[in-house]
Structure 1
Amino acid sequence: MQPLRIALAQVAPRLGDLEANLARHHELLGEARAGQAGLVVFPELGLTGYQLQDLAAEVAMRLDDPRLSRLAAATVGLSAVVSFVEESGDHRLFIAAALLEDGEVRHVHRKVYLPTYGLFDERRFFSPGDVLRAVPSRLGVGVGLAVCEDFWHVSTPQVLALDGAQILINVSSSPGRDLATSSEVGLGTASSWRTLMRTYAQLTTSFVVFCNRVGVDESISFWGGSEVIGPGGGAVFSAPMFDEGLFIGEVDLADVRRERIALPLLRDERPELVSREWRRLIAERAGLAPDTTAEEGAEDGLDVAAEPGPGRPIGFGGVAGSTGPGATDSEPARPERARPGPARPERAKARPKMGAA
C-alpha cells in the first residue's frame, strides 16, 4: 500500500461569507493537489464560520446545491472532507461533514451531539444527526467522519471503528478556553483534545485525523493545533497552534494492519454484550419490564449474523443502508471500494491571510 499524504487545511473562515470561504476551499484544494496530497481535511463549518446563530439558514446548502457540486468536482483524484450547514428536505438544519471524492459527494455525516453548555448553544439552531457510519473510500480503507463534540462521547470512535473505519476523521471548531499553565500547550482545551485523540487512536488501532480551525468569530478565538495520530497512539505530524494555512504530512496506512495484528482490541470487542446491556439500561430508565435477554448467559436476541456471510464483510456490510453516492449518513453511501516516524508537516507556500469577520 502506497504512503498517503494528508493535508490539514487549518483555515480561518469568514463568518457568514459562504462565497469567500468556497473560494478559499477551491484554492487550498489546488495547493493540496500540487503537494500530492491524497486526503484534504477542512475544519467544522469551514465553509460558513462557527458562531452563525440566526445566519445559519442564510448560508445553508442542500446536497444538490450547485456550489457544493462544483466543490466536489474539484476533488477528481482526491478525497476531501468539508463542513457546512446542510438543509434537509423538511427544512431542518444540520452541522454536516461531507466526504467528497472523484467529483462526487460520497457520504455526509450529520453532527450527532450538539453541545448546549458553557459558550455553546448549538441545539437552539440545529437538529442532531442520529446515525454513525463508516464508508469505503478511494484511499483503499474505510473512513469514519465525526464533528467536534461527537468525539467527546466514547461510543463514536468505537462504533466507527467496528463498522470498518481505519481512518477516523474529526473536524472541529474548538475554541481556546480554560487556560491551564500546567499544560504543555498552554490551553486546557488543547491538552484535553490531544489526550482524547491519542487514546482513541490506540484503543481503536486506527489513524485519527483532527482538523481544527483558527481565527476569531464574535470574540471567540480558535486555536488550531490540527494533528494526525497513528494507530499506536503517537503523533505522526502536527500543525502549529493559531496559524492559518495548509499543512501536509505522510502516513503509512499499513500501520493499521500491523497494529491490529499485534494488538487485536477490535477483534476482542463484544458489541452484542454492549447492545444487551444498553437495552437493559434503557428499559430500567423507562421503568419497563426487565429485558430477559439481559440476563447473564442469555442469548442476545439480535437480528444479525454472528459471522459475516458471503458478500457481507465485517464493517461495511454489517448495517443495512442505501447504496450510491450522495446519500446522507441516515441513508449511508456504499460506493465500491477503490485501491488507493513522526515528521514535521510541510507548509504550502501560498498562504494568503483570511481574517474572520
Structure 2
Amino acid sequence: MNDAGFGARLRLRVEQMDTVLADPAANLARIATAQARAAADGVDLVVTPELSVTGYDVRDAVHALADPESDAPFGELAGGPDVVVGAIERDASFIPRNGALHLRGGRVLHRHRKVYLPTYGLFDEGRYFGRGDGVRTYDAGGGWRMGLLVCEDLWHPALAWLLAAEGAHLIVVQSAAAGRGAVAGGAAGGRFASWGAWEHLARAAAIAYGVYVALANRAGVEGGLVFAGGSMIVGPDGEILARAGDEGEDAITADLSLDAVAAARRPYAHARADDPRLVAREIARIVESRP
C-alpha cells in the first residue's frame, strides 16, 4: 500500500488485543509492535479493538485520557500500514467521545464517534462519554469505500444500512464485548452464549448489503469484565473468512477484494432496489407521530 491508499486487493489483519488500563503509552507501543509484524506480512490495514489506546473501563479518568481532536496525534504509528485504533477524543466542546480512528501515516484519515452508548448491565458509558451524531463512509483508495462502527453501534442495524446506502464495501467494527451467558457456548462454539448473537449481526450485515465486515473484539480481563474475544472477518457473501480464539490475544488475517464484493452482489438486487427516499419519508412520519 502507498500514500494514495489501498489497491483493489486489501490484506486486513484484526489484532485481538488486551490493553493496559489508563496507560496510552504502553498500549501505543503494543499497537506499534503489532503494526510492525503486520508490515512484515504484507498487511495493508490493521484493526484493533474498541478503546485500544486507553483501555475500556476508564470511568472518571476519561477527561485526563481524552486527547484534543487532531489530524496528527499518533507519530509512533506513522511508519507502517494503516491502523484503526480506539481512542478518547475531545472536540471544542470539551466533551469526551469514544472514537474509532483510521490512521494513515500516523494522521487521521477518518474518525467515527460511537453513536450508541450502552447503559445497561455492566455498562455505564452514557455517564462518561458524549455520543456521536452520525456515520459516514470515506474513500480509502483503490476504489474502496469504508465505514467504521463501535460495538453497540452494530446492534442498531440502521447504522450499517446507512453505510451500505452510501456505498461501503468494508465495514470495520471495534468492540469491547464482555462474555455473557453460561460457559456453554452455542451453535458457533466458544465459551460464551452471547457470541452467537455477534456472529449473526455481522453475517446478516455482510449478506444483506454485500459488504465485508471486520469485527475486532477485546481480549483479557479488566475489573469485573471478561472480554469475549472471538473476533472475525466476514466475507460479502456472509462466509466467515477468519475467526480468532476466545481465550486471549490472537491475530487473524484475510485477503479482501473488490471482485469478491461485485460477485456477492450479482445474485441479488438489494442495493439496486433500495430506496433511501422511502426510508427517509417513513422515518419522518414515525418521528412526527411520536409524542
Task: State the alpha-carbon separation in 2 of the partners of residues 186 and 28 from structure 1.
Answer: 26
Relative to 1, partners in 2 of residues 1:103 and 1:181: Cα closer, same or farther, differing over 3 Å?
closer
Task: State the alpha-carbon separation in 1 of the partners of residues 211 and 59 from structure 2.
Answer: 35
Shift of 1:245: 3.5
Task: State the alpha-carbon separation in 1 of the partners of residues 23 and 105 from structure 2.
Answer: 26
Partner of 1:5: 11
Matching residue's letter, 1:145: L
Task: State the alpha-carbon separation in 2 of the partners of residues 238 and 192 from structure 1.
Answer: 15
- The alignment status of 1:48 with 2:54, answered yes or no, reads yes
Task: State the alpha-carbon separation in 2 of the partners of residues 252 and 141 from structure 1.
Answer: 9
Tell me the SS of whatever aligns to 2:202: helix
Partner of 1:79: 82
Partner of 2:251: 246
Tell me the SS of whatever aligns to 1:13: coil
Aligned residues of 2:213 and 2:234 also touching (Cα < 8 A): yes
Tell me the SS of whatever aligns to 2:290: helix
Partner of 1:203: 208
Relative to 1, partners in 2 of residues 1:139 and 1:58: Cα closer, same or farther, differing over 3 Å?
farther
Tell me which stretches of 4 or more aligned residues in structure 1 moved more than 3 Å. none
Aligned residues of 1:8 and 1:211 also touching (Cα < 8 A): yes
Task: State the alpha-carbon separation in 2 of the partners of residues 225 and 212 from structure 1.
Answer: 7
Q: Please, which runs of 5 or more residues in structure 1 have no aligned partner?
A: 287-357
Partner of 1:154: 157
Partner of 2:218: 213
Partner of 2:114: 111
Task: State the alpha-carbon separation in 2 of the partners of residues 20 and 139 from structure 1.
Answer: 33
Match of 2:30 among 24, 28, 36: 24
Q: Please, which runs of 5 or more residues in structure 2 have no aligned partner?
A: 1-6
More strand by share: 2
Shift of 1:185: 2.2
Task: State the alpha-carbon separation in 1 of the partners of residues 244 and 206 from structure 2.
Answer: 18
Task: State the alpha-carbon separation in 1 of the partners of residues 118 and 233 from structure 2.
Answer: 24
Partner of 1:189: 194
Structure with higher Rg: it is 1
Matching residue's letter, 2:250: G
Task: State the alpha-carbon separation in 2 of the partners of residues 218 and 169 from structure 1.
Answer: 27
Matching residue's letter, 2:138: V
Tell me the SS of whatever aligns to 1:283: helix
Cα-to-partner distance string for 1:310-333 (whole Å, 9 max, x where unaligned): xxxxxxxxxxxxxxxxxxxxxxxx
Task: State the alpha-carbon separation in 2 of the partners of residues 190 and 4 from structure 1.
Answer: 27
Task: State the alpha-carbon separation in 2 of the partners of residues 79 and 254 from structure 1.
Answer: 22
Shift of 1:258: 1.1
Q: Structure 1 length as normaliser, TM-score?
A: 0.76
Task: State the alpha-carbon separation in 1 of the partners of residues 142 and 179 from structure 2.
Answer: 33
Match runs of 1:82-161 below 5 Å = 82-161=85-164
Q: Structure 2 length as normaliser, TM-score?
A: 0.93
Task: State the alpha-carbon separation in 1 of the partners of residues 252 and 207 from structure 2.
Answer: 23
Aligned residues of 1:73 and 1:104 also touching (Cα < 8 A): yes
Cα-to-partner distance string for 1:260-285 (whole Å, 9 max, x where unaligned): 12212111111111111111111110
Partner of 2:3: none
- The alignment status of 1:57 with 2:60, answered yes or no, reads no
